[in-house]
Amino acid sequence: MEQIFQAFNVYLSFTAVAINAVFVVLVLVRAPHTNLTITFLFLSLASIIWNFGIFMSYFGEEEFWHHISRIGSPFLPALLFHFAHSLVRPAARGNLFLLAYLLAGLLSVSSFLAIFHPGIRLFVNSKFWSLYFLCILYPFILSGLTILRSAIRSFQSVELRNRISYFYWATIIAMLMGAADLLRDFGVALPRLGHAGSVLYSTVLAIGIIRYRRSYDIIAQMQIKLEFLSEIASSIAHEVRNPLNSIKGAGKLLSAELKESKNGPAGDYIDIITEEISRLDNILVNFQNLTRPLHVVKESLPVNEVIQKTVQLAEIGALPLEITTDLSTGLPDIHADAAALKQVFLNLIKNAAEAGSYKVKLKIATTASPTGVNIIFRDDGQGLPPETMNRLFEPFFTTKPSGMGLGLAISRRIVQAHNGHLEARNIEPRGAEFSVHLPR
């Protein structure tokens, strides 16, 4: 019976290696290389090292490969913690990530040195190694699960909640079954479930990726487009903006001379030319913002105040829109760039203004969530065509005859630079809703 169970563990460890190897290939070849995917890459590599070491221990020097497996396993809690945070609010707690990796590294290095040093080998083979793992590293997994659970409750997008739920339940499986292996070192009569947990964890993630593969495909396609655009953005901006600035300067000088001569109509025409040159310059700025890394300067600020100032700007612009606000009191301050958020909010307001051939009504509401603040833009326009929902935030995708399709793409990039999420959905009986979640 023991031999059958041992053979089953060999199969499970090899299966876990194979599944995670596929994940590594997908990240390297298919996925955009963001902080989130790089973290997932190292998470898969750590799982491969752990499972491969156990797999080889059945065929070679058991103690040697046992120590090799323990080089990878301590990093799993730290990487799970990092990845869980990155799903909800990337890089929000850099110091905690560093601490988690440092504490995991102590166990990993001790496992490597145990191959050569008998004294360190005694520690790695003792209960104290497992006790350190359970008491020092497992709390990071619990923290990540808490963040994920709060996010699942607060996000309004059903698709986003479901995508996060796959990782949430996969992490619970990995945590419980991994703990079973560690508790065996303290005499608890439990079977070795860690490799089964690794396979189940990887399988649940694979199901989530397959189920939402279209979303991941769109992200990958957007990354390819952005990489191409970033290569030509600088040269286009340089070649076009220089003559535009010269024309704009000459137009201002000519306008001043015409106004002095009281030639009213000609001066008005020059003003129109100057305004249109400014609009072209703004298009180039948006194009550059889309293709280059965003640099936001964050400070603690009240989101309601930013919304109120943005609404004032929109009202000055005389948009065909009736705006009302329902701003909750007592909201926590957020860590954000006020100017960048104004651009997002103004884009969403302008988007609502173009949602119907009549004077659209837009309601802007704010609410607190366990992880930050939600801002809802709800209009009574014609709604979003269902066939365009999956492409709504793609650069240069637009259903408007005169639009460039950059507003929503840039807005999502800005929100993501603040570790937040921007989602859209239709509402009944008529209208659309854009929801922005910003962490504290």
Q: Where exactly are the structural domains of the chain?
A: 2-211, 232-291, 299-439
User: How high is the pLDDT of residue 28?
Assistant: 82
Six-digit token string for 223: 């990354």
Specify the higher pLDDT residue, 317 or 112: 112
| 176 phi/psi in degrees, rounded to 5 | -70, -45
Six-digit token string for 398: 């637009």
339-348, 386-395, 424-433: the lowest-pLDDT one: 386-395
What is the rounded average pLDDT for all residues in the chain?
80
Helix/strand/coil percentages in the chain, nearest 5: 70, 10, 20
List beta partners, residue 360.
321
User: How high is the pLDDT of residue 110?
Assistant: 93
Instruction: Tell me which architecture the domain covering 299-439 has in CATH.
Output: 2-Layer Sandwich (3.30)
Mean pLDDT, residues 22-48 taken together: 82
395 in Cβ contact with 406 (< 8 Å) = yes
Instruction: Identify the burial level of 52 via C-beta atoms within 10 angstroms of its C-beta, where 0-12 means exposed, 13-18 middle and 19 or more buried.
Output: buried
Six-digit token string for 113: 């040195």
| pTM for this predicted structure | 0.57
Tell which residue, 173, 179, 2, 228, has the closest CA to residue 73: 179
Superfamily of domain 2-211: Rhodopsin 7-helix transmembrane proteins (1.20.1070.10)
Neighbouring C-alpha atoms within 13 Å toward the C-beta of 142: 8
Give yes or no for residue 169 having a pLDDT over 70: yes
Give yes or no for residue 304 having a pLDDT over 50: yes
Q: Is 299-439 the same fold as 2-211? A: no
Contact partners, residue 126, CB within 8 Å, separation at least 6 = none
417 in Cβ contact with 436 (< 8 Å) = no
Six-digit token string for 146: 């808490």
DSSP 268-281: HHHHHHHHHHHHHH
Contact partners, residue 229, CB within 8 Å, separation at least 6 = 287, 290, 291, 395
∠111-116-119 over CA atoms, to 5°?
Answer: 75
Q: Which amino acid is at 89?
A: R
Give yes or no for residue 422 having a pLDDT over 70: yes
Which residue shows structure tokens 């960048």?
340
User: How high is the pLDDT of residue 91?
Assistant: 46
Mean pLDDT, residues 246-250 taken together: 73
Residue range 100-123, pLDDT digits in tens: 999 999 999 999 999 888 889 899
User: How high is the pLDDT of residue 136?
Assistant: 94
Mean pLDDT, residues 220-225 taken together: 54
25-34, 203-212, 340-349: the lowest-pLDDT one: 25-34
Respond yes or no on whether the N-terminal peptide bond of residue 429 is cis (omega within 30° of 0). yes
370 in Cβ contact with 420 (< 8 Å) = no
